[in-house]
Amino acid sequence: MSEKTGHRRAIVTGAAGGLGREVATQLARRGCAVALVDIDAKGTAQTADICRSLGAEVEEIVGDFTAEGAPEAAIDRVVKKWGGLDILVNNAGYGGIEPFLGMSYKMWQRTLSLNVVALALACAAAGRVMKEQRAGRIVNITSPASRMALPDYAAYAASKAGVDSVTRAAAVALAPFGILVNSLAPGMMDTDMQRSTEAELARVNGRNDLQAFLDERTRRVPIGRRAEISEIAEAVVWLCLDAPVYMTAERLNMSGGMDRD
């Protein structure tokens, strides 16, 4: 906790919209100072305005998180501004649809660069700061896709399996220093990424009636509906602020029963 601000200091990546915006907003509402990381300057500014309206201190960090040194630079900027870091939420992600036999290098490179490499380096950079503090919490956003066979979504599914692996490794490496590292697997939410992904998935599979396709997918959810972004964010914030200090290396499933293991 910052002596200067008196608040816990958090970084949320992918904060320009969707789940990242909601997580940042809820953290701000809980009294955290929030740093917003995203490549979308306009969306980041909008999230910042919301957080400031709730009385939070805000730092906007706009840029490509996959660039060499970018995760470390974001962590360093927050430490210089607020004197430390208490929370890192690795929410930024990318996923695209490609038929398995038509997969491309570009898709794999882009997906793994953000979803795995940048996330892992951010965990390490945050871990070095939190080690000196002897405290901190890291939450990585994974997906039920990491444990599913998805031929048209292979790069994304593999990247989220990578997130699960990095989460376990980071949790073990950082546990001796009082740092908790957990992940959360959301169910289907009506974010921009979810909508565009499902539209492309329908196209690749020759489904012309998009609404019928979406309804079929929704019926697969045992709880009977899609997730509200706010309720997924509540679970992320719980991991950031309220989860027991003995809980680490855990994967929290918030998928309405789709991810049952």
Confidence of residue 3 (pLDDT cuts 50, 70, 90): very low
Q: What is the CATH number of the domain that holds 158?
A: 3.40.50.720
Distance of alpha carbon 61 from alpha carbon 86, whole angstroms: 17
User: Region 177-193: what's the mean pLDDT?
Assistant: 92
pLDDT at 6: 53
Give residue-wise pLDDT tens across range 133-174: 999 999 999 999 999 999 999 999 999 999 999 999 999 999
* Residue 103, C-beta contacts closer than 8 angstroms, at least 6 positions apart: 154, 155
Residue 140 belongs to a domain: yes
* Three-state DSSP class for residue 90: strand
Q: Which residues are catalytically annotated?
A: 156
Output the DSSP codes for 151-197: GGGHHHHHHHHHHHHHHHHHHHHHGGGTEEEEEEEE--B--HHHHHH
Residue 116 belongs to what domain range? 9-187+228-254
235 part of a folded domain: yes
Residue 196 falls inside a structural domain:
no
Model pLDDT, residue 231? 97
* 3-state SS assignment for residue 231: helix
- Which SS3 state, helix, strand or coil, does residue 63 take? coil
What is d(CA 251, CA 212) in angstroms, rounded to the nearest whole number?
32
pLDDT in tens, 215-230: 898 898 999 999 999 9
Q: Is residue 83 part of a domain?
A: yes
Six-digit token pair at 157?
């599914």
Residues of the chain with pLDDT > 90: what percent?
84
Residue type, 19: L
Task: Give the count of alpha carbons within 13 A of 71, CB side only.
Answer: 25
Domain count of the chain? 1
**261 lies in a domain?**
no
Position 197 in a domain: no
Contact (Cβ atoms closer than 8 angstroms) between residue 92 and residue 13: yes
In a domain, 210, yes or no: no
Q: Which residue has the tokens 């036999």?
A: 101
Residue 239 lies in a domain: yes
- The 10s digit of each residue's pLDDT in 34-72 is 999 999 999 999 999 999 999 999 999 999 999 999 999
Query: What predicted TM-score, i.e. pTM, was given to this entire model?
Result: 0.94
